[in-house]
């Protein structure tokens, strides 16, 4: 049985008057690999801050550890790269050592063992030769690895990453996801946020669709349905399944109108003068008649996750 690491129990969070999260029930268990997906402003970063324990719920409870008793849970947090001051005068090695600073039992200078450990982690992440380089002089992928290294030096049970693949090229995104998968195979639970459905979300074993509330949770094929995506983004999306892969795209209304006109060419006058055109019948299924949903049987909004080893709605 996979023990819970973090549990959101009926958690709401409000900034001033603005309720950003509404009655969230989620359990993150040992070994989980979870993507939190939703549009900008959906509350994804707030969700991570609650999981990291840096903010407390306005309502409900956060439980940490198998007994929910706030036993020290070792967490590693990888912030969004946009929030980091890359001109701050530190080297790669110093950034990674800062990961140890939160441990109050340590003296404020690094021991030889600490430095050895930093070198080992950097080597493992393929950036060992960059230890003495200033963080400003790194590529996007290298910067991402430095902050993953800083989180790993705390030997976390759970790694929380805020948009780890945004603003990086395709190869780097692939490498970062690959690295996260191998860390997960070594037993580290991973929770990351992403707004990228195709490149990221569809490749993560377990998803939470969040837009201020949990709209769905489960495996990508179960939760990435037209109904859930409409609830998530407030717009029609097309889902195509090809060779077991999900491809998701939005349907701009201009395209949809154009497409419908092609489908019903005989109904639509080529040119129109004088009077109002006849109403165009969208037939209730416009926009997503041609959408292929992977599993309509699961097309509901609160599907519980079947695998208790991953994230699941708590109730």
Q: Which stretches of the chain bind ligand ADP, using CB under 6 A?
A: 15, 18, 20, 38, 40-46
Write the Ramachandran bin of 236: left for phi over 0, alpha for psi from -120 to 50, otherwise beta. Answer: beta
Specify the residue, 82 or 123, whose C-beta has the smaller distance to ligand ADP.
82
Minimum gap (Å) between residue 14 Cβ and ligand ADP: 9
Minimum gap (Å) between residue 286 Cβ and ligand ADP: 29
Specify the residue, 40 or 87, whose C-beta has the smaller distance to ligand ADP.
40
Of the candidates 102, 192, 208, the one whose C-alpha atom is nearest the C-alpha of residue 148 is: 192
For residues 297 and 214, what is the distance between their CA atoms, to the nearest angstrom?
19
CA 118 from chain centre, in angstroms, equals 27
Specify the residue, 48 or 158, whose C-beta has the smaller distance to ligand ADP.
48
18-29: strand order across its sheet: 18-29, 4-15, 59-64
Minimum gap (Å) between residue 53 Cβ and ligand ADP: 16
The tokens for 6 are 């973090």
With tokens 């395709």, the residue in question is: 170
Minimum gap (Å) between residue 233 Cβ and ligand ADP: 12
Specify the residue, 42 or 92, whose C-beta has the smaller distance to ligand ADP.
42
Minimum gap (Å) between residue 295 Cβ and ligand ADP: 26
Specify the residue, 93 or 162, whose C-beta has the smaller distance to ligand ADP.
162
Minimum gap (Å) between residue 45 Cβ and ligand ADP: 3
The tokens for 99 are 């990961």
Residue 238 sits at φ, ψ, to 5 deg, of -100, 135
Specify the residue, 43 or 156, whose C-beta has the smaller distance to ligand ADP.
43
Buried b (16+ CB within 10 A) or exposed e, 242-279: eeeebebeebeeeebeeebeeeeeeeeeeeeeeeeeee
């Amino acid at each position: 049985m996979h023990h819970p690491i973090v549990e959101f129990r009926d958690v709401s969070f409000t900034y001033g008057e603005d309720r950003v999260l509404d009655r969230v029930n989620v359990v993150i268990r040992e070994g989980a690999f979870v993507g939190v997906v939703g549009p900008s402003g959906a509350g994804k970063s707030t969700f991570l801050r609650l999981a990291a324990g840096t903010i407390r719920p306005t309502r409900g409870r956060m439980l940490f550890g198998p007994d929910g008793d706030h036993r020290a849970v070792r967490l590693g947090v990888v912030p969004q790269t946009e929030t980091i001051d890359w001109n701050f005068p530190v080297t790669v090695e110093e950034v990674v050592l800062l990961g140890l600073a939160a441990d109050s039992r340590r003296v404020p200078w690094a021991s030889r063992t600490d430095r050895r450990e930093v070198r080992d982690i950097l080597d493992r992440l393929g950036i060992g030769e960059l230890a003495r380089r200033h963080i400003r002089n790194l590529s996007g992928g290298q910067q991402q690895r430095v902050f993953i290294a800083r989180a790993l030096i705390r030997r976390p049970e759970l790694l929380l990453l805020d948009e780890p693949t945004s603003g990086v090229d395709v190869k780097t995104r692939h490498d970062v996801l690959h690295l996260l998968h191998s860390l997960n195979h070594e037993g580290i639970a991973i929770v990351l946020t992403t707004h990228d459905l195709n490149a990221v979300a569809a490749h993560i074993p377990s998803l939470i669709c969040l837009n201020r509330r949990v709209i769905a949770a489960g495996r990508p094929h179960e939760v990435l349905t037209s109904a859930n995506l409409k609830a998530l983004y407030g717009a029609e999306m097309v889902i195509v399944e090809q060779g077991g892969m999900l491809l998701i795209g939005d349907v701009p209304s201009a395209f949809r109108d154009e497409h419908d006109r092609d489908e019903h060419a005989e109904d639509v006058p080529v040119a129109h003068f004088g009077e109002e055109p006849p109403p165009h019948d969208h037939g209730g299924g416009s926009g997503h008649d041609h959408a292929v949903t992977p599993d309509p049987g699961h097309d509901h909004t609160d599907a519980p996750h079947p695998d208790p080893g991953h994230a699941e709605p708590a109730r």
